[in-house]
Structure 1
Amino acid sequence: MGRVSSCSELLLWHSDHARGANAHEFAWSGRLTPLQKKASEELLTSVEQNKSHLLHAVCGAGKTELLFLSIFRCLEQGKRVCVAAPRTDVILELFPRFQKVFPKTTIHALYGGAPDQEGFAELILSTTHQLYRFEKAFDVVFVDEADAFPYYADETLQRAVKKATKQEAAIHYVTATPTKSLQTTNQSVLSRRYHGHDLPVPRFDSLWGYARQLNKGKVPHKLQQWIEEKTKTNTPFLVFLPTIEMLENFPGDLPRVHAEHPDRKELVMQLREKKISGLLTTTILERGITIENVQVAVVGAEQKIFTSSALIQISGRVGRSFQYPDGDIVFFHHGISREMDKAQTAIEGWNRS
């Protein structure tokens, strides 16, 4: 949005909202599992009754597909719809998928650095920050990954979402790790992934003194072995690090990304296309990206930045496809934390349900 100060001129539109003239098309040919279909219909009922709904589903359950029917019905009725998320990466992941599903709908994707887009958008995909632009603009709003930082910790972002929504319109939430504040009367729970396989359970592996070794410019032996094994087998991988400083000072020439990295989108695409073997990353990639057969290591999993929710989301990057429903997720640590235990226990609990 650029800089906005108290002397900036802001314009509000007070007339009736424009309506798109498109005859919307629903071009999704996929099939929902019985659990997905039930949750999709429950969400649609809440949308039609204008009641807030929480879609609580494990990572990789196919949450996005569950929104399609509700969004299409709203578009058919001339309603304006917003799908919001705290992270730019989620919007970048969703945009091409929604364009394929709704090929005749004008869709805009709004995030920091997004290109100008023409026309009146009936469906907007937006970071929660970009919703400062709107006031009482949307008939229906879905907030994806509503427990993610910074949205859950920033009341101004939460107010921005409410301000962008029409006064009587309900807001619906989608996440694998909901906070207590997101609990609503209407909920759908999906405890299984769409392919029916168990969630990969993280394993714990000690990496004593990893911070000291990395500070000396040396990759700990176990971690080096893990990276070399994935590289030799041409298996894509992500290594999550707790700080930007540790990320930038990590020995070697592995590509690395963080929240302010200018080429983050391109590097993730290169990993998806197997043009690079792996990425070093901060928690910025804990959500919203799907890479086939990706394997994951968390270095310093005991550190405070890695909450149980973050660790569950990171673990959820693994085993998301039919072809590769399993995979390695390892928490390298200098002592096991309660958050690590909570994450592992929660994932094992989903597998038993």
Structure 2
Amino acid sequence: MIKRLINWWDGRFERRFSAVFPPNFNNPHDENSPYALSLSGKLLLEHQLPDDRHTLLENKYLIKIPAITKKHFDYACNRCGNRVQRFFASWPCGCGGACVYCRKCVQMGRVSCCSYLYIWSGQLVGFPRVERACAWEGELSWYQSVASERIVEAVDGQSHLLVWAVCGAGKTEMLFAGLERAFAEGKRVCLATPRADVVRELRPRFESAFPNVSIVARYGGSEEVDEGAQFLLATTHQLLYYARAFDVMIIDEVDAFPYHADPMLPYSTARALKPEATLIYLTATPRLDLRIRSHLNLLPTVFVPQRFHGHPLPVPVFHASFDLKKRNVPKALKTWLIEKKKADRRVLLFAPTIEKAEKLKGEIPGSISAHSEDPDRENKIRRFRQEEVDLLITTTILERGVTFPSIDVAVLDASHDVFDEAALVQIAGRAGRSPEDPDGDVVFFHDGASDAMVNARDSIRKMNKLAEKGGE
């Protein structure tokens, strides 16, 4: 009964949009159009279409569906899947009266009851078969090799897979063999992640590993346009622009905010997949729903408890600091930073809020801060990575998906609600990622240890024990 309920729940998005989007809306008998590559797999608004859109519609190269539908008294958005009525509002759009629009996805462009979504329905687009696409010449560890083989099997079998790998396990390199298989078969691939900073970090790595594959990176604020790239790197919000587009979908950091908290994002992920496709989840800290599905064998899982260099994960040290509510820079933190400066160590310091990060920057000489509201954060992160700066103060935007060589990590007010177990495990995983310096320090400064702190430390110790047993 439990398995049937979970299977029903997992299929809710497919059922919801399959009523609107046919499983295969392409007509292979149509002659190809010069727009096929740039429009295929896209879900577009009218202003995003070419100038001769009317000709394309007349020749049935494009089909249109209502952006918002109404059943009885309830509205449904066919772009983001929203059915929560409080996220709909009316506005005087000029169509002859007040029109209802979806507030949930308005940041991607307004859709309303009088607007349509357009989908390419011409000939299916074929992508090149790129033989021996991977130029990476490194070697995988035993755990990585096992995971890599399972990923290749998932690509071949068009199946789902959870890759549960600790921070610093080398998930990107584990993907290479599976991606090479996909490109050799002419498949289109998307790697999506909730964080734009992760997209920016991954792009040069994949461009170096796959020099002969067309790659595009899309995230909020990026200027790149997808004209039919075979490999798309994107934030999960960008998937709202796609429908039935990808043969292989990889969701990196699937447990990260906002993906796990916003039903719009899993909905758009499911719609962006072709009917027969591979879906791979990557994470070091899966949420409860993924753990349950994995435990019940409803989601095939491969587990990687060891970092790629074979050294254990740094175990956080708890440091009581009962003046942290009274001082911007508590005495314990100040003493610790002085010790690190003397030891010539670079530090990544996490603050619970943007306001706190800015105050810390003002009181700690030689430090810089980077957070979600900082327009220069990309440049600051680059400077820290290139060792031009020794102390970077940040928020949870850098808790995962980024790698800095030879750093120690500290969390100020680690018992704050913003730092849940997953966040603290990921933050601890920023230290010790380099084989030359695998033993970075991790310190949680607190005024009373939280359950999340204790659970994060226990989880890291458990991973280290599993890796040790595997090594034996």
Q: In structure 1, what is the Cα distance between the partners aligned to 2:244 and 2:299?
A: 24
Note if contact 1:236-1:294 (Cα within 8 Å) is conserved in structure 2: yes
Q: In structure 2, what is the Cα distance between the partners aligned to 1:174 and 1:154?
A: 18
Q: In structure 2, what is the Cα distance between the partners aligned to 1:208 and 1:326?
A: 27
Q: In structure 2, what is the Cα distance between the partners aligned to 1:298 and 1:319?
A: 16
Which residue, 311, 314, 319 being the options, matches 1:205?
319
Note if contact 1:46-1:186 (Cα within 8 Å) is conserved in structure 2: no
Could you tell me which residue of structure 1 aligns to residue 265 of structure 2?
A: 157
Deviates more, 1:45-54 or 1:322-331: 45-54
Could you tell me which residue of structure 2 aligns to residue 245 of structure 1?
A: 355
Structure 1: which amino acid aligns with 2:205? R
Could you tell me which residue of structure 1 aligns to residue 303 of structure 2?
A: 189
Q: In structure 1, what is the Cα distance between the partners aligned to 2:110 and 2:390?
A: 44
Structure 1: which amino acid aligns with 2:303? V
Report the TM-score when normalising by structure 2. 0.71
**Consecutive unaligned residues in structure 1, runs of 5 or more:** none
Report the TM-score when normalising by structure 1. 0.94
Q: In structure 2, what is the Cα distance between the partners aligned to 1:347 and 1:260?
A: 31
Aligned length: 349
Is 1:66 aligned to residue 153 of structure 2? no
Q: In structure 2, what is the Cα distance between the partners aligned to 1:120 and 1:267?
A: 32
Is 1:35 aligned to residue 143 of structure 2? yes
Could you tell me which residue of structure 1 aligns to residue 435 of structure 2?
A: 322
Classify 1:12/1:308 alpha carbon distance in 2 versus 1 (closer, same or farther; 3 Å): same
Q: Which has the higher contact order (CA 8 A, sep 6+)?
A: 1
Q: Deviations over 1:291-333 (max 9, x none)?
A: 0111100001111111111000000001111100101100000
1:77-116 equivalences under 5 Å are 77-116=185-224
How far 1:47 moved relative to its partner?
Answer: 2.1
Note if contact 1:238-1:279 (Cα within 8 Å) is conserved in structure 2: yes
Which residue, 343, 368, 373 being the options, matches 1:255?
368
Greater Cα radius of gyration, structure 1 or 2: 2
Could you tell me which residue of structure 1 aligns to residue 123 of structure 2?
A: 16
Note if contact 2:162-2:300 (Cα within 8 Å) is conserved in structure 1: yes
**Consecutive unaligned residues in structure 2, runs of 5 or more:** 1-105, 467-472
Structure 2: which amino acid aligns with 1:236? R
SS at 1:12's partner residue? strand
Note if contact 1:19-1:122 (Cα within 8 Å) is conserved in structure 2: no
Q: In structure 2, what is the Cα distance between the partners aligned to 1:240 and 1:52?
A: 34
Deviates more, 1:265-274 or 1:326-335: 265-274
Could you tell me which residue of structure 2 aligns to residue 4 of structure 1?
A: 109
How far 1:336 moved relative to its partner?
Answer: 0.7
Note if contact 2:215-2:232 (Cα within 8 Å) is conserved in structure 1: yes
Q: Deviations over 1:75-117 (max 9, x none)?
A: 1111100001001111111100000010010000111111224
How far 1:43 moved relative to its partner?
Answer: 1.8
SS at 2:455's partner residue? helix
1:283-322 equivalences under 5 Å are 283-322=396-435
SS at 2:332's partner residue? helix
Q: Identity of paired residues, percent?
A: 42
How far 1:124 moved relative to its partner?
Answer: 0.5
Note if contact 1:239-1:296 (Cα within 8 Å) is conserved in structure 2: yes
Note if contact 1:55-1:187 (Cα within 8 Å) is conserved in structure 2: yes
Root-mean-square deviation over aligned CA pairs: 1.7
Could you tell me which residue of structure 2 aligns to residue 228 of structure 1?
A: 338
Structure 2: which amino acid aligns with 1:264? R
How far 1:120 moved relative to its partner?
Answer: 2.4
Q: Deviations over 1:220-245 (max 9, x none)?
A: 12111222333344322111111112
How far 1:125 moved relative to its partner?
Answer: 0.6
Which residue, 334, 339, 344 being the options, matches 2:447?
334
Q: In structure 2, what is the Cα distance between the partners aligned to 1:291 and 1:17?
A: 42
Note if contact 1:237-1:296 (Cα within 8 Å) is conserved in structure 2: yes
How far 1:188 moved relative to its partner?
Answer: 0.5
Note if contact 1:82-1:125 (Cα within 8 Å) is conserved in structure 2: yes
Deviates more, 1:124-133 or 1:235-244: 235-244
